[in-house]
Every structure is written in C-alpha cells, then in structure tokens.
Structure 1
C-alpha cells in the first residue's frame, strides 16, 4: 500500500522535476483545491494547478526539486524543499535572463483516499524575484540609499 508521504513526494519529484504532468490526474483529486497566497486567483482547482506547473516549467525547463524534509501525520503531509533552475523562458512578463535561481519553500498537503485533495503552498517569491533582478536586494537598496 502506498503511503500518503509517497503520494505527495510524486508532486515535487515526478511532476515538477521530471515534468510528468499526466501524474497530476493520477494523484490529485478532481475536486482538488490549491491555496497559494502569491496568486490573486486563490483558491485554484486541479486544472489551474496544471497551468501553474506548465508556466513554471516553461520558464525554468531544467527545474529540479530537492525534498529536504517530508513529515506525515494522518491525512496531512508537509514538505520542505529547494527548487533550482535556469530562467530560460518568459516568466511573469520577464524575458529569459539565463539566471540560475534557487528558491526554498514549504507545502502542506491533505490526502484523502489516496488522492491529494488540498494543498497550501508558500515559497520565497521575493527571493526569486530578487534573483531574477525584478526587485533589488536589501544590499542594493542599502547602497542606493547610502549614496543619496
């Protein structure tokens, strides 16, 4: 029997890193709900999640997720990860920069009857935007403020 932790690990490892989007239909329930505070359209459904993954994988086609910790208790599984990839495609209106980025995050999943039914995601979006040059870093802001 597959454990909830094994089901959840398929998301970062198989869907995100390997790009197997067909696995979304296998492991996510049809009534899946995604909670992403960085999205204006929150909450989102399974089709929205597929588009979310496609968007990021097109922008960072070599993305690799490293699951650093996975903890399961009952229907809840929490994953802490680091994602790394190279910005090679358009992302949020930004042309490819060629920058290699590293972003950490955590996700909490609920698994019912062998399917992921709900997910809450939180990642370092500010750090990602700084690595891509969309937002200045604190150091850059400090230098700018000190020269004025």
Structure 2
C-alpha cells in the first residue's frame, strides 16, 4: 500500500472543498486552529475559514476550480500549488454582480501537519488585475 503524500492531502482538499463547492468538508481536513493568510490578512480558526470560503464561493457564479500543479518539499511538511478559478462575477471583490467572466490564477503554500491536517495556507492571487477588469465593466 502506498503512503499518502502531502500532495495527496492538498489535492484532496482542493477536490472536496473548492471543486465540490463544499465548505463543510473543511471540518475534516484542516486543524481547528488553522490560519489562512490571503492578501496579507490572517483569518484564524476552522470556523472563520469555512465562512471565508462560503463567502468567496457566493461571489462567483458557475465557479470552477482547476488544479494546475502541486508539489511538496523533501520533508513533506510544505506543499506548493498553482491553481485557476473561472466563473461569472456575482459581486466578487465588492464589484457589481454583472456576471462578467472571471479568470483568476494564484498560488498557495501549505503547511501540512504530521497528523495530515492542513495547518496554514499562504495565498497569492492576481485579484488586483481581476478587480481592475471587473470595475470597468
């Protein structure tokens, strides 16, 4: 039987939470004291993260999440992922819900705990470019 890698853990998270659009899956996949750092802001706790994901999903209709690539460091406690989100604007980034196409890419760096739970996620995305496009539509 093969060992589950940290890449497997992160890809499972992508499938269960983002591709399935299911914030409740977070309960089984991240630590209670999970932190996501997005846009320089820390969101603390599993429950706050679930709310953040639900809000994010509500702002993009026809939401699709694409895994571009995922790899881990030698020790397996850090995983890097490139991803892409597409859909239609439903008020994303505070813009009017105009249903314009959204195509956003980003990277995520994960800390995976020894217990297999996700501990921290640092996210960078091209939201400024997406905002500029949506703000003029």
TM-score computed with the length of structure 2 as normaliser: 0.85
Match of 1:23 in 2: 25
* Distance in 2 between residues matched to 1:36 and 1:59, nearest whole Å: 16
Q: How many residues align?
A: 132
- Higher strand fraction: Structure 1 or Structure 2? 2
Q: Secondary structure at the match of 2:49?
A: helix
* Distance in 1 between residues matched to 2:35 and 2:13, nearest whole Å: 14
* Distance in 2 between residues matched to 1:116 and 1:52, nearest whole Å: 16
- For residues 126-141 of structure 1, the aligned pairs below 5 Å read 126-133=128-135
Aligned-pair CA distance for 1:3: 2.0
Deviation larger for 50-59 or 115-124: 50-59
Extract unaligned runs of 5+ from structure 1: 137-148
- For residues 26-45 of structure 1, the aligned pairs below 5 Å read 26-39=28-41, 42-45=42-45
Q: Secondary structure at the match of 1:22?
A: helix
Contact 2:33/2:44, CA 8 A, preserved across alignment: no
* Distance in 1 between residues matched to 2:18 and 2:130, nearest whole Å: 17
The Cα offsets for residues 54-75 of structure 1, whole Å up to 9 and x where unpaired, read as 1111111321111111011211
Contact 1:76/1:111, CA 8 A, preserved across alignment: yes
Aligned-pair CA distance for 1:6: 1.4
The Cα offsets for residues 86-117 of structure 1, whole Å up to 9 and x where unpaired, read as 11x33444331111110010000011111001
Extract unaligned runs of 5+ from structure 2: none
Match of 2:6 in 1: 4
Match of 1:120 among 111, 119, 122: 122
Could you say what the CA RMSD is over the residues aligned between the two structures, in angstroms? 1.9
Match of 1:102 in 2: 103
* Distance in 2 between residues matched to 1:128 and 1:12, nearest whole Å: 21
* Distance in 2 between residues matched to 1:116 and 1:30, nearest whole Å: 9
Is 2:66 the counterpart of 1:66?
A: yes
